[in-house]
Amino acid sequence: MPDIILENSAFRLTLGEDASVKGFLIRKNGEECVYPDEDIRFFSVTQERPFNNEVKLAHPNKWTVWQAERLRYEDGILHAAFDTVPVKARIRVDIREEYMVFTLDGFTVLPEDYGGLCMDTPPVAELRLCALPLIHRKNFGEWLNVCWDEKAAVTVAGSCPEIRIDSEKRKSARILSADLTRDADLKGSAVLIAAERERFLDVMDRVERDLGLPRGVESRRHPLLNASVYWTGDISLKNADEHIALAKKGGFRLMLIYYTAFFRAKEGFSLCGDYDFNDEYPGGLADVKALTDKVKAAGILPGIHFLQTHIGLKSRYVTPKADRRLHHTRRFMLSKSIGTEDTVIYVDESPAGSPVNGKCRYLQIGTEIISYTGYTDRRPYCFSGCGRGAFATDILPHDEGSLAGILDISEYGGTSCYIDQDTDLQDEVAQKIADVYNCGFRFCYMDGSEGTNAPYARYVPGAQMRVYSLLREKPLFTEGAAKAHFSWHFQAGGNAFDVFPPEVFKRMIARFPLEEAPRMQKDFTRLDFGWWAFRLPEGESEGTQADQYEYGTSKAAAWDCPASIQANIVSFRLHPRTDDILEVMRRWEEARCTNLLTDEVKERLRDPESEFTLLRDGVGSLVLCKYERLKTCAHITAYAFTYEGKSCAVYWHNRGEGLLKLPLAQGSFVLRNELCGNEEAFEGEAGNTVIPAGNKRYIFSDIGGMALQDAFEKAVLL
C-alpha cells in the first residue's frame, strides 16, 4: 500500500502503512523535521496486562505497550491496528490550514476477541494519539513541548488539561507525544503545529481562537507583560493613597494584592477556603470594588494573588466537621470499631509508607480528624498514639469497615491541606475567589498551584482553569506557583521566586531566576524574577539596599522579565534609603518602555558577574553604566564607574546619614545628589576630605585618576 500523506498549506506529514513516521516537511521552506531512522510508530495502546485469553497465556502479565503495525486512511479517519492485542483504534484527523487535530473517534473490537469476559472492551489504559520523532533543534521548550530554531518550530500540544503531553529525549531525536488515559475518560485532542519560526506564535494564536482555548499568545504580546509589580498584603481603603503614592514613586504600573488584604487570615494558610472579609472591608465586595477603582484611577492595574487549592486547617471546611471532599493520599479500612476514648486504630491495610513528619500525621475518619504518632507495618496493622478530635473536630465513634484517609497536608507550613480535585469543592472555592476578582481585577497570581492530587499534569492546570473559567473579564495574564502543559494557554508568566535575604540576594538571583530565564524563553515565555522583600537595616544586616534591587531588576530586564517587590508600609517609612531604592525601580521600569535596552545591551546585562546602574545625565536621560563594588567601611556602600572619561563613584549610607572622611589626593570635585540631580562644586582638603554621607545617594566626579578603591578602603565614617 502507498504511504499515507496528510498535508495542508503549512506542512506535509507522511506515515507508512505500518504507522511509522516517514516524513514531516514544512512546505514553505522545505525544512524536514523528523528523524527517519527512529523506529517510531505514530500510534500505540497500553494495557495494565493482557486481557484477551490467548494473549494473556502467551505473554507476560505486566504493563505492556502495543505498537500500531497497520494503518489505513479513509474519509478523514486513520484506522490503526496494533501488534498482537485484538483492538483497532479510529483516529479522526481534522486538517486545518496551518495545523492538524487528532481525536479518538472510537475503537473497533470483535465480540469474540473478549468473549466470555465480563468487562468493558477494549481494556485500554492509554492510547498514544501521536508520537513524532523530531530532529534535535537548538531549543526545546519543555512547558509548551516545542522544538525550534531559526528555521522551524514544531509542537505536539494538547486541547485540554486531561490529555498528557510529554517528550522523550534520545541521542538522535526527541519524541513528542500525546496520550489519552482511561482515568480521564480518554478525553482530549492532540494538536500538531509546524511552521517557520516567525509564524509559529501566529499559528498558535489561531489554534487558541479556533478551539476556544485561553489566549496564551495574546497575553504574551501584552505591553505590560514585562512590567514589574508592586505587591501588598495589607492595602485597604484607609491606606490605599499611601500605597498608590509609593507604587507611583517606584514607577510601578501593576499592583498585585494578596488575599490577606481582604480576608481574615492567621497562622499561615489556616483560614484558606473560608474567605470571610476582615474588618478593613466591612462592605465586602463593594469595598473591594471601590479599592480597585481607586487603584485604576491612579493609572495602575490591580491584580489579585490567591491560593486556590488550599483549605485551612482552622477553616469551616475542617472544624468542627471535616469536609468529605478534602484530599487523602491513602485510604484504609478499619478492622475494628473504635470508641471516643480509643487511641489505637486498627486497619486492614499496611500503613507502611504513611507520613512520619510531625505536621503531617493525620487521619480523617468521617468528619473527625485524628493525629497519630506511629504505626505498625506487621499484622495486626494499626496507627498508635492517636489524638482524637484534632483541629477541634468533633470526636465520634467509628464502626468497623469505616474508611480512614491520610489527610493531604500542605508541605508549606502544615497549616492547610489540599482539595480532592475529583470533587466539586474546587469549584466552590473557585467561585469565592472569582467573586472578588470580578470586582475589577485585571491579572492574577495562582499560588500553591502544585497542591493537587496526582496526576499533576492534569490537575494543576485543571484546578487553575476551574478558577479561570469563572472570571468574567479574562486576565490580561496570569502567573502561578506551578505550571503544567495546558496552563501555557493562560499562564503567561512562570512562578515568581520566593524571598531571598539581603545577604544572599544577588547570589540567589544568579542561581535561580537568572538561570531559568533562558529556559523559559525557549517556551516563548518570561518569568517573574521574584517576590523581593524590603528589609530594614538592623543588627548585623544592612537590610535591603539600592544595589540589590538594581542587580535583580537589571538581570530581569535583560531577559524581558519583571520583578515583584513586597511592599511593607512600615518598612518603607523607616528605611533611610526608601526613596533611592524606589527610584532604582522607576528608572528600570522607564528603561523597559524605551529603546535603551537593545539586544546588544541586554546581552551585556545578562552576565551574572557584572553589575550595572542607570544614571541620569544633565538633561534627565537615562545612562547605563557598568560599575564595580568598592571595599569601604561599615554602613557605607560605594561603587566606582567611568563616565565620559571621568573616574566617578556613587555611594550612600546604608543606615542613616553622617560625614565620610576620605583621603582623596584631590580636594576639588563635583558632588551630585543622585535622586534630584542637583550638583555643586565641592572643595575639600587634599588628603583629608570630609563629604556628606546619607540623605540620598551621591555621585562625585572630576577627581582625575585617583584610585577610588584606595580612597574608600581608608575612608572613615564620622
Distance CA 546, CA 552 (A): 10
Answer yes or no: are the C-beta atoms of 485 and 162 closer than 8 Å: no
CA 634 to chain centre: 38
The C-alpha cell 504574551 sits at 220
Distance CA 439, CA 473 (A): 10
DSSP string, 185-222: TT--EEEEEEE-GGGHHHHHHHHHHHTT---HHHHHT-
Provide the pLDDT for residue 331: 98
User: How many angstroms separate the Cα of 550 from the Cα of each of 514, 615, 705?
Assistant: 14, 11, 27
Distance CA 211, CA 188 (A): 12
DSSP string, 220-239: HT-TTTT--EEEESS--TTT
Provide the pLDDT for residue 36: 80
307 DSSP 8-state letter: E
Residue type at position 617: D
Provide the pLDDT for residue 318: 98
* pLDDT tens, position by position, 80-100: 999 998 999 999 999 999 999
Provide the pLDDT for residue 125: 95
pTM: 0.94
Provide the pLDDT for residue 705: 47
Mean pLDDT by 10 residues, the chain (718 residues): 93 96 94 88 95 88 94 97 93 98 95 86 95 96 97 97 96 96 96 96 98 97 96 97 98 98 95 97 98 98 98 98 98 98 98 96 98 97 98 98 98 96 98 98 96 95 97 95 94 85 96 96 94 94 96 97 94 95 96 94 97 89 93 92 84 91 73 71 71 79 65 87
Answer yes or no: are the C-beta atoms of 80 and 72 closer than 8 Å: no
- Lookup: cell for 669: 570635585
Q: Are strands 21-26 and 11-15 parallel, antiparallel or unpaired?
A: antiparallel
* pLDDT tens, position by position, 569-623: 999 999 999 999 999 999 999 999 988 999 999 999 999 999 999 998 878 889 9
* pLDDT tens, position by position, 457-501: 999 999 999 999 999 999 999 999 899 999 999 999 877 888 899
User: How many angstroms separate the Cα of 242 from the Cα of each of 235, 247, 293, 443?
Assistant: 9, 9, 15, 22
Provide the pLDDT for residue 667: 65
User: How many angstroms separate the Cα of 343 from the Cα of each of 373, 387, 460?
Assistant: 10, 7, 36
Q: Which residue in 507, 484, 509, 574 sits closest to 538, CA to CA?
A: 574
* pLDDT tens, position by position, 293-306: 999 999 999 999 99
Provide the pLDDT for residue 643: 85
* pLDDT tens, position by position, 649-667: 899 999 999 888 888 766 6
Share of the chain above pLDDT 70, in %: 97
Distance CA 31, CA 29 (A): 6
